[in-house]
Amino acid sequence: MSVVLYLMIFIIIILFISVILLMQNISKLNNIKQLYEGKIEAYERLLDCSHDLFWIKDREYRLQFVNEEYKKLFPAVSDFVGMTDHDLAEKFLADGYRADDEKVMSSARELHYQENDKGVSWFESTKIPVFKGKDRKVVGCAGIARNITDFKAQESKVYELEHLDYLSGLTNRYSFVTEGKRHIEQCISEGGTVYLVLVHVDRFCNVNALNGLKIGDELLRFVSFELRKVAKDFQTQISRVGGDDFCFVMDSNPKQNDVAKLVEQIQLVFSKPFEVAGMHVNLSCSIGVCGTQNNEISGFEYLYRNVELCMHIAKQKNKNRVTYYEDIEVDQMLRKLSIELELSFAMQNEEFYIVYQPKIDVESGKYIGSESLLRWKNKKLGELAPLEFIESATQMKLMVEIGYWQIEKTITQNLEWGACGYHMMPISINLNETQFFDDNLTRKLSELLVKYNYPGDLIEFEISERNFIIDNNSACRILSELHELGVKISIDDFGVDFFSMFNIAKLDIDCIKINQQYLDRLGCEQNNLDIVKSIIALINKHNIKLMVSNVEKAEDIRNVKNLKINAAQGFYYKKPMFSDEFSIYLKNI
C-alpha cells in the first residue's frame, strides 16, 4: 500500500507541476499574443497616420487591410476586407491593378510605377510580394502609393523655367540647343532637309533705352505672339534664342519656295507698327536663312553657326534685310567674326605693339622724324594687317582706347630714346575719325603731356581729309585745340576724298602727306604733271610741308625730287622696325 500511495503522490505532484508549467506557458502565450496584437494595432495606427495609401491583398487579390488614407478614396465603402479592385474601380483600371499584382506575386519582386488618375491626380506606387514561412511562399502582395500631384506640378514648373522663355512663352535657347538639336540631327541622319530661319529684331535696344524695360517687355510679347501665329500657320517650331532673336525650324523637307513664303510672312509682321501703351512703334527685322543642303558638314552646330552668319550679314546691310547662306562668302565672314572676338581681349592680353618707320629729307637724306604704326599679333589669328582689324576695332568702339594706349606708348618710347642720348624727333600717329572726334581727345592728350613733361611739338597727328567733310566746324575746333598744345597736324592720303584746295588756306595744317600710289595713278602725262605741280606750288605757298609715303623705288625718289617735295617715307629707305631695331638705326645715323 505504501508503495502505491507514494506512487500516486508522485504522480499528483508531477501533474501539479505540469499544470503550473502549462498555466505559465499559456500566460506567456497570452502575453505574446497581446504583444503581437499590440504591435499589429500599433502598425495599423502608424499606417493610419500616414498620408500615403497602404493596402494588403491575399493570393486571390482580395483586400485584407487598408489604412485610413486609402479609405478616403472610397467614402461610401465601410468594410474593405474581402473586396477586390473590380469592386472599387472602373474595369480598365482594375484590370491594370490586377495585372500588376499578378506580376509582383509571380516574380516575387518589387514593382515601382507612376500613374495619372483620370488626368487629375498623380500617384507614385510600390508593390511588394508578401511571404510566409521559411520557404518564403508568396501568399499575397502589399502596396503603398503616394499622391505626388503637387510634386508633379512643381516638376512641371521647373521644366517651364528651364525650357520656356518667361516673357514670350516660347521655348528658350536652352531648350532649342538641347531638345531642338536632337530633333534636328535626327532629321538630318534620316536624310531629311532642315531649314533654320533666324530673326533679329532691329534696334530693339533703342526701344528699351527710350521707353524703359516695361514697354520693351510688352513689345516683345506682341512680337512673340505674332511670330508664334506665323509658326503655327507654317507648322514650324519657334524659339526665342536671344534677347531680340527668334529662330524658326522647318524640318518637314521644305522646299526653297516654302522658306521664301515663311520669310515673307515674317517680314509682313514687321511691316505694320506695333501698338504698345498708346504708342505706335515701328520695327524691322534682319533675317538669316540656312538649310542642311547648304552645309558641307551636316550637323546642328554648323547649321546654327551658318544661320547666325547670315543674320549677322543681314544686320550689317543697313538692317531690314534677308541673307541666304548661298549668297555669302563664309570664310571671309568667319574671319571677320574671329577678329572681332579676339579683339575683345587683345588689350588685356597685351597683343598690340608698335613699329616705327623713319621719315627722310629727300635732298639731304637725313632722318627728320618717324611714324608710329600700330600692329597686332594674335595667338590664334597670327599677324594681322591694320586694314584687317582697325575697321572692326572702330565698329566695336575699341579704337579710342587702343589709340590712347598707342599715344602714351609712343611718348614713353621717344623719351627713352632721348634718355639714351638720341636727338628726339617728332613722331606721327594716325588718328581715324572716331579717335579724332572723341570728346576727350585734347583733355587726355594734355594730361599725358603734363604727366611725362613731353613737348607737344614732338607729336604729329595724321588725320584724313574726310574729317572735314563729315563735320568741318568740329574738325576746325579740334585742330585749334590741338595746336594750342603744340601738336602738329598732317593731312594723310591727300587727294583721296577730293578735299577742296581752298580749305588748305583756311586750316592751320603743318604737313600734307601724299601716297606714292596716288602719284602713280596720275601717270606721267604732261597735263597731269602740270596739275600736280600747281597743287604743290599752292601748298608750298602756304608754308605747308609735303611728304610722300610708300616710296619703294629709286624712280619714286627721282619723281619726288622733280616735284619739289620735301620729304619721303617708305620701304626704299627703311621698313617699319621694332623699337629695339629702331634704337640701333638711331645709333648708327
Three cell numbers written together for 385? 594687317
Q: Please, which pLDDT band fits residue 321 given cuts at 50, 70 and 90?
A: confident
Instruction: Kindly state whether residues 414 and 557 are assigned to the same domain.
Output: yes
Instruction: Kindly state whether residues 109 and 188 are assigned to the same domain.
Output: no
Q: What is the dihedral of CA 117, 45, 150, 89, to 10 degrees?
A: 10
- Is 388 within the bounds of a domain? no
Of 5 and 110, the one with more pLDDT? 110
- Is 393 within the bounds of a domain? no
The radius of gyration of the chain from alpha carbons, rounded to an integer in Å, stands at: 45
Looking at mean pLDDT, say which of 332-341, 432-441, 507-516 comes out highest. 432-441
Residue 420 has what pLDDT?
A: 93
Domain final residue, candidates 302, 328, 354: 328
Phi, psi torsion values for 198, nearest 5 degrees: -100, 125
CATH number of the domain that 544 lies in? Answer: 3.20.20.450
- Is 318 within the bounds of a domain? yes
**Of the ranges 111-115, 157-161, 286-290, 291-295, which one carries the lowest mean pLDDT score?**
291-295
Place of cell 500566460: 27
Place of cell 505559465: 24
Instruction: Kindly state whether residues 98 and 133 are assigned to the same domain.
Output: yes
User: Measuring CA to CA, which residue among 281, 258, 278, 259 is closest to residue 269?
Assistant: 281
**What is the amino acid identity at position 484?**
E
Share of the chain above pLDDT 70, in %: 86
Collect all residues with Cβ–Cβ distance below 8 Å to 173 and sequence separation of at least 6: 239, 240, 241, 242
Taking residues 111-135, report their average pLDDT. Answer: 85
User: Measuring CA to CA, which residue among 406, 357, 356 is closest to residue 567?
Assistant: 357
Looking at mean pLDDT, say which of 70-79, 284-293, 323-332, 569-578 comes out highest. 569-578
Taking residues 557-566, report their average pLDDT. Answer: 85
How far, in Å, CA of 411 to CA of 453, rounded? 10
Instruction: Kindly state whether residues 447 and 539 are assigned to the same domain.
Output: yes
Domains: count for the chain = 3
User: Measuring CA to CA, which residue among 255, 319, 262, 316 is closest to residue 291?
Assistant: 255
Taking residues 78-106, report their average pLDDT. Answer: 91
CATH number of the domain that 217 lies in? Answer: 3.30.70.270
Residue 28 has what pLDDT?
A: 60
Residues 431, 432, 435, 437: is their CA dihedral positive or negative? positive
**Of the ranges 287-296, 307-316, 396-405, 495-504, which one carries the lowest mean pLDDT score?**
495-504
Written as one string, the DSSP assignment of 25-58 is HHHHHHHHHHHHHHHHHHHHHHHHH-SSEEEEEE
Q: Please, which pLDDT band fits residue 515 given cuts at 50, 70 and 90?
A: confident
Give residue-wise pLDDT tens across range 259-304: 889 999 999 999 988 888 888 888 999 999 988 865 555 678 888 8
**Of the ranges 12-21, 536-545, 577-586, which one carries the lowest mean pLDDT score?**
12-21
Q: Which helix (H) or strand (E) holds 528?
A: helix 526-541
Place of cell 514687321: 270
- Is 21 within the bounds of a domain? no
- 569 within 8 A of 351, measured Cβ to Cβ: no
Residue 582 has what pLDDT?
A: 95
Residue 506 has what pLDDT?
A: 67
- 456 within 8 A of 448, measured Cβ to Cβ: no
Strands 367-378 and 285-291: unpaired
- Is 558 within the bounds of a domain? yes
Instruction: Kindly state whether residues 230 and 138 are assigned to the same domain.
Output: no
Residue 312 has what pLDDT?
A: 86
How far, in Å, CA of 149 to CA of 158, rounded? 14
Give residue-wise pLDDT tens across range 417-441: 999 999 899 999 999 999 999 999 9
How far, in Å, CA of 15 to CA of 13, rounded? 5
**What is the amino acid identity at position 84?**
T
Instruction: Kindly state whether residues 437 and 507 are assigned to the same domain.
Output: yes
How far, in Å, CA of 454 to CA of 90, rounded? 96
Taking residues 449-459, report their average pLDDT. Answer: 96
Instruction: Kindly state whether residues 574 and 484 are assigned to the same domain.
Output: yes
How far, in Å, CA of 573 to CA of 357, rounded? 9
How far, in Å, CA of 569 to CA of 5, rounded? 151
Residue 492 has what pLDDT?
A: 86
Is the pTM for the entire model greater than 0.75?
Answer: no
User: Measuring CA to CA, which residue among 396, 377, 393 is closest to residue 385?
Assistant: 377
Report how far apart, in Å, the C-alpha atoms of 165 and of each of 221, 533, 580 are.
Answer: 11, 69, 57
Q: Please, which pLDDT band fits residue 580 given cuts at 50, 70 and 90?
A: very high
Range of the domain at 412: 399-588
Instruction: Kindly state the DSSP code that residue 423 receives in the 8-state scheme.
Output: P
Give residue-wise pLDDT tens across range 188-224: 777 778 889 999 999 888 877 777 888 888 889 999 9
Instruction: Kindly state whether residues 405 and 522 are assigned to the same domain.
Output: yes
Residue 246: CB atoms within 10 A of its CB come to 27
Domain final residue, candidates 121, 151, 181: 151
**Maximum distance among all alpha carbons in the chain?**
175
User: Measuring CA to CA, which residue among 138, 147, 116, 122 is closest to residue 57?
Assistant: 138
Instruction: Kindly state whether residues 143 and 183 are assigned to the same domain.
Output: no
Q: What residues does 578 pair with on adjacent strands?
A: none
- Is 250 within the bounds of a domain? yes
- Is 27 within the bounds of a domain? no
Residue 35 has pLDDT above 80, yes or no: no
Instruction: Kindly state whether residues 213 and 142 are assigned to the same domain.
Output: no
Residue 368 has what pLDDT?
A: 95
Residue 571: CB atoms within 10 A of its CB come to 13
Three cell numbers written together for 146? 503616394
Residue 405 has pLDDT above 90, yes or no: yes
Instruction: Kindly state whether residues 438 and 582 are assigned to the same domain.
Output: yes
- 324 within 8 A of 545, measured Cβ to Cβ: no
Residue 82 has pLDDT above 70, yes or no: yes
Helix 399-419 vs helix 441-452: angle between axes, to the nearest 10 degrees? Answer: 20
Residue 511 has pLDDT above 70, yes or no: yes
Instruction: Kindly state whether residues 108 and 177 are assigned to the same domain.
Output: no
- Is 1 within the bounds of a domain? no
Mean pLDDT of the chain: 85
Three cell numbers written together for 581? 631695331
Residue 162 has what pLDDT?
A: 78
Residue 33 has pLDDT above 70, yes or no: no
Q: What is the dihedral of CA 292, 294, 300, 302, to 10 degrees?
A: 170
Instruction: Kindly state the DSSP code that residue 292 receives in the 8-state scheme.
Output: G
Domain final residue, candidates 298, 328, 358: 328
Strands 121-132 and 111-117: antiparallel
